Amino acid sequence: MFKYDLHDTLRAKLDKIAKRDKVLASIFYKKVQEIINRDEETVNAYKNLRSPLNEYKRIHLTGNYILLFSVKGNRILFFDIRHWDDVFGK
């Protein structure tokens, strides 16, 4: 099990999301639990993003939103929730 932290950007967004979209907020918390309960080998199953965000991994929350996070040793930093179009530039 990993230790984790939320980036300040993500904390601010979560406050808004919790008020506006309770379904997305509950999906977020389930995905966080899924990620932190993995071991060091299986956490690498998540895909890395391409440059300039190549230091982050991604997991889809819904069809439109992606959670960005990075793994450094035994610690995970959850960075941001972004819309698919903002991450992939489509």
Domains of the chain, CATH where assigned: 3-88 (3.30.2310.20)
Separation CA 77–CA 63 (nearest Å): 22
pTM: 0.88
pLDDT in tens, the chain (90 residues): 899 999 999 999 999 999 999 999 999 999 999 999 999 889 999 999 888 888 999 999 988 999 999 999 899 999 999 998 988 886
| Count of other CB atoms within 10 angstroms of residue 52 | 6
